[in-house]
Amino acid sequence: MLCAEGLPGTDRLDIEHACSVLDQWAERVAYETDRHLYRVTDPRYAEHYRHSEAFLRAEFLLQVLQQDLGVKYDLTSADNFDFDDSRVAFIHGMIPAPRQSTKDTPGGTCASMPVLCVAVGRRLGYPLKLVTTNSHIFVRWDGLAAGGHPNHAWRERFNIEGAGEGFNSFPDDYYKTWPVKITDHQVRTNGFLLSLTPHEELAQFMASRGHCGKDNAQPGFAARCFENAHRYDPMRPCYRSWFIQAALECGYTPTTPSLIAWLDGVKKARDRGHHIGFGGLLPSQNYTEDFPELSLVERHRPKPSFSPPQSPNTIHFQNNQPQVPGSNR
């Protein structure tokens, strides 16, 4: 939300209020989850939840957010996704303003729904990470990282599809073919399918800020945001590519030494008549053909041009138990 401040669509953004709402949502998730934990060992439900407390907690996290609290996907953005309104890319698009409800919000996208899921889940101590593939972000329960979570019941690793409706848990290989088919080389070059560090998460949010500036015809602002994203995550080539494109458009001068060298190399190559693709050039070289990895740089923004993921294997939520035994309430 700090990365969204000042952007179009934040006129009613109250970060203190929004954080309070997230705290309340986390309490609701905790309440519903705790009173259904018996299902992990109950023969009527255990197979559905894979006999796993971690899996049940992950599913109830999404179930409560969607069914009880009304968090939804913004279907108007599925095939016409632009960053001109920051609410499509940041979580305040799903958090109601004071005296409003989630019915009054536009909803989220694959750029924001996973972030909201992680924001609520981390309030409960869940070992949740954000993960990227080409043009998509998803969530990972990563209880095996750093030697394993202190809670042995949480020592599992599985993916959570946090955008759209319902609950899905796809293996890593699924995201090599959806939403865009990618090669193993692209996975390595772009850092896809790896759990993001806090610095890398911040870089993602700074890049979204840059895309908002770009779609609002502010290339200089966008270039500065992409430069900041590159500083926090210098190994991810898409930030460098987006920076170069924005900087060339407006004559922006970076202060980051590596970007100064890259931009200078691109300008010299362009002056010599070489075609400059999105990947740019190494500062000491003239041709991207000499470096095939540059042709594999992610050329798309991390935004969907498609509908939310749908699968015949979608895991349907189990009905909640009535809060009062014997009643329908």
Averaged pLDDT for residues 192-213: 96
Averaged pLDDT for residues 173-189: 93
pLDDT in tens, 71-99: 999 887 766 668 899 998 999 999 999 99
Categorize the per-residue pLDDT at 207 as very low, low, confident or very high, splitting at 50, 70 and 90: very high
Shared-domain flag, residues 171 and 211: no
Shared-domain flag, residues 15 and 106: yes
pLDDT of residue 286 exceeding 80: no
Shared-domain flag, residues 164 and 213: no
pLDDT in tens, 272-283: 776 555 443 333
Q: Is residue 325 part of a domain?
A: no
Shared-domain flag, residues 122 and 216: no
pLDDT of residue 157 exceeding 60: yes
Quick one: pLDDT at residue 274?
64
Quick one: pLDDT at residue 308?
53
Residue 124: burial class (beta carbons within 10 Å; 0-12, 13-18, 19+): middle
Categorize the per-residue pLDDT at 218 as very low, low, confident or very high, splitting at 50, 70 and 90: very high
Quick one: pLDDT at residue 108?
92
3-class DSSP string for 110-133: CCCHHHHHHHHHHHCCCCEEEEEE
**Order of strands, edge to edge, in the sheet holding 157-160?**
128-133, 136-142, 157-160
Quick one: pLDDT at residue 163?
83
Residues 6+ apart with CB under 8 A from 146: none
Q: What are phi and psi of 195, to 5 degrees?
A: -65, 130
Contact 239, 229 (CB under 8 A): yes
Quick one: pLDDT at residue 319?
82
Quick one: pLDDT at residue 269?
82
Quick one: pLDDT at residue 296?
31
Residue corresponding to tokens 């694959």: 110
pLDDT of residue 288 exceeding 50: no
Report the alpha-carbon distance of residue 61 to residue 65 in Å, rounded: 6
Q: Is residue 329 part of a domain?
A: no
* 25: nearest Cα among 54, 62, 56, 53: 62
Report the alpha-carbon distance of residue 192 to residue 131 in Å, rounded: 7
pLDDT of residue 164 exceeding 80: no
3-class DSSP string for the chain: CHHHCCCCCCCCCCHHHHHHHHHHHHHHHHHHHHCCHHHHCCCCCCCCCCCCHHHHHHHHHHHHHHHHCCCCECHHHCCCCCCCCHHHCCHHHCCCCCCCCHHHCCCECCCCHHHHHHHHHHHCCCCEEEEEECCEEEEEEECCHHHCCCCHHHCCEEEEECCCCCEECCCHHHHHCCCCCCCHHHHHHHCCCCECCHHHHHHHHHHHHHHHHHHCCCHHHHHHHHHHHHHHCCCCHHHHHHHHHHHHHHCCCCCCHHHHHHHHHHHHHHHCCCCCCCCCCCCCCCCHHHCHHHHHCCCCCCCCCCCCCCCCCCECCCCCCCCCCCCCC
Shared-domain flag, residues 66 and 150: yes
Averaged pLDDT for residues 166-171: 91
* pTM of the full structure: 0.86
Categorize the per-residue pLDDT at 165 as very low, low, confident or very high, splitting at 50, 70 and 90: confident
pLDDT of residue 189 exceeding 80: yes
Among candidate residues 119, 151, 180, the one where a domain is terminated:
180
Report the mean per-residue pLDDT for the chain: 86
Shared-domain flag, residues 25 and 140: yes
Residues 6+ apart with CB under 8 A from 45: 39, 318
Shared-domain flag, residues 240 and 167: no
Contact 145, 127 (CB under 8 A): yes
Quick one: pLDDT at residue 80?
64
Q: Is residue 84 part of a domain?
A: yes
Two tokens, residue 131: 């993960």
Q: Is residue 318 part of a domain?
A: no
The structural domain count of the chain equals 2
pLDDT in tens, 118-152: 999 999 999 999 999 998 999 999 999 988 999 99
Quick one: pLDDT at residue 271?
80
Q: Is residue 101 part of a domain?
A: yes
Contact 39, 56 (CB under 8 A): yes
pLDDT of residue 309 exceeding 90: no
Give the bridge partners for 157, in sequence order: 142
Averaged pLDDT for residues 42-58: 96
Shared-domain flag, residues 7 and 60: yes
